């Protein structure tokens, strides 16, 4: 069956690097979820070749479709482009824990972090 989805835009040569990053992230999320491109296309209510066309660089999703992809994977657009889940909650928790440490404990944590850099 031919994909007749109109909900795509042609890929421009100027944004090839950004497009490659987008494709890589989408493909990574899809594979991590254990879904085929066809299954994800169907889950999004699109033609069965929709995701395949995006991952091959033939087309890119519209903004509304991009938001639908983010909702499906339960991530924000910022998380999509940052490559990971929003860790602001984790950072807030870490900051609260660090505020409760004594000076020697903070020095030890600092040493531990810096020792990983070596």
Q: What is the pLDDT of residues 31-87, one digit of tens each?
A: 988 999 999 999 999 999 999 999 999 998 999 999 999 999 988 898 898 866 545
- Contact of 73 with 32, CB cutoff 8 Å: no
| Tokens 């699109």 sit on residue | 46
Whole-number pLDDT of residue 95: 78
pLDDT, greater one: 58 or 95? 58
- Contact of 60 with 53, CB cutoff 8 Å: no
- Contact of 43 with 36, CB cutoff 8 Å: no
Return the structure tokens found at 105.
Answer: 């404990």
Percent with pLDDT over 70 in the chain: 76
> Does residue 15 carry a pLDDT above 80?
no
> Does residue 93 carry a pLDDT above 70?
yes
- Contact of 47 with 41, CB cutoff 8 Å: yes
Whole-number pLDDT of residue 26: 93
Whole-number pLDDT of residue 71: 94
pLDDT-based confidence at residue 115 (cuts at 50, 70, 90): confident
3-state secondary structure at position 84: coil
3-state secondary structure at position 4: coil
Return the structure tokens found at 6.
Answer: 């109109």
Whole-number pLDDT of residue 8: 56
- Contact of 77 with 67, CB cutoff 8 Å: yes
Whole-number pLDDT of residue 98: 86
């Amino acid at each position: 069956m031919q994909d007749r989805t109109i909900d795509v835009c042609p890929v421009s040569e100027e944004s090839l690097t950004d497009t490659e990053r987008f494709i890589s992230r989408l493909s990574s999320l899809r594979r991590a979820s254990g879904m085929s491109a066809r299954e994800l296309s169907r889950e999004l209510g699109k033609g069965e070749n929709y995701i395949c066309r995006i991952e091959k660089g033939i087309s890119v999703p519209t903004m509304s479709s991009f938001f639908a992809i983010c909702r499906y994977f339960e991530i924000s657009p910022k998380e999509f482009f940052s490559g990971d889940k929003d860790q602001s909650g984790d950072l807030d928790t870490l900051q609260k824990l660090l505020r409760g440490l004594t000076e020697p404990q903070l020095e030890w944590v600092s040493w531990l972090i810096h020792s990983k850099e070596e």
